[in-house]
């Protein structure tokens, strides 16, 4: 991962900090205990519990490094920075599918926070990228595998 700026909302920052704290204080101890128990079983060359614990340990340490780098390069998007005239990171956007009339609500976030299941989409995703900088009433076109979807920006909120 490069040292590029990581854009986060205050909520996103809090979640990353909590995940980092949990990995450092809880998960590290749990996996160290699993390794100790697995070593107690004897020959580690053919010990699957030991292998699993070592793999989990490597994953945890890698995630800690990634989170620390993200937090070091974080720029927090505060509510005051969110413009209600144009879509930006931190905006909650209500859009209408021009063809079908379905209405959806998305919050535009940095890639580190994106969670499509929670309707938090990245500013670098096709839909997010198409909406950034646009105003209410604008129709944006998004290329998807099935073709092009047109969304009308109905409202922009904080």
- Picking from 18, 50, 76, the residue at the C-terminal end of a domain is 76
Domain at 104, CATH number: 3.10.50.30
Q: Could you give the percent of the chain with pLDDT greater than 90?
A: 68
- Picking from 28, 56, 76, the residue at the C-terminal end of a domain is 76
Tell me: the pLDDT tens digits for 17-55? 999 999 999 999 999 999 999 888 877 778 888 999 999
Token pair for residue 108? 């535009």
- The predicted model scores a pTM of 0.74
Cα–Cα separations (whole angstroms), residue 108 to 43, 62, 119:
51, 27, 9
In a domain, 53, yes or no: yes
The answer to whether residues 83 and 152 belong to one domain is yes
In a domain, 1, yes or no: no
Contact at 8 Å (CB) between 139 and 128? no
Size (the chain), residues: 158
Nearest to 5 by CA among 83, 81, 111: 111
pLDDT of residue 103: 95
Strand partners, 70: none
Element at 152 (helix H, strand E) = strand 147-157
pLDDT of residue 2: 55
Tell me: the pLDDT tens digits for 109-137? 998 899 999 999 999 999 999 999 999 99
The answer to whether residues 71 and 87 belong to one domain is no
| C-beta neighbour count of 77 within 10 angstroms | 22
pLDDT of residue 1: 46
Mean pLDDT, residues 72-83 taken together: 83
The answer to whether residues 87 and 36 belong to one domain is no
| Number of domains the chain contains | 2
The answer to whether residues 51 and 108 belong to one domain is no
Residue 56's domain spans which residues? 6-76
């Amino acid at each position: 991962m490069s040292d590029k700026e990581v854009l986060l909302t205050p909520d996103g920052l809090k979640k990353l900090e909590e995940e980092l704290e949990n990995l450092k204080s809880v998960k590290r101890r749990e996996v160290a205990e699993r390794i100790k128990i697995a070593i107690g079983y004897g020959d580690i060359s053919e010990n699957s519990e030991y292998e699993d614990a070592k793999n989990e340990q490597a994953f945890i340490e890698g995630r800690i490094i990634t989170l620390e780098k993200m937090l070091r390069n974080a720029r927090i998007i505060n509510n005051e920075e969110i413009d209600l005239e144009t879509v930006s990171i931190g905006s909650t956007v209500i859009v209408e599918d021009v063809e079908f009339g379905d209405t959806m609500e998305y919050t535009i976030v940095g890639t580190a926070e994106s969670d499509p299941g929670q309707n938090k989409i990245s500013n670098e995703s096709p839909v997010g990228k198409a909406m950034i900088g646009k105003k209410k009433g604008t129709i944006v076109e998004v290329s998807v595998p099935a073709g092009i979807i047109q969304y009308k920006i109905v409202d922009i909120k904080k």
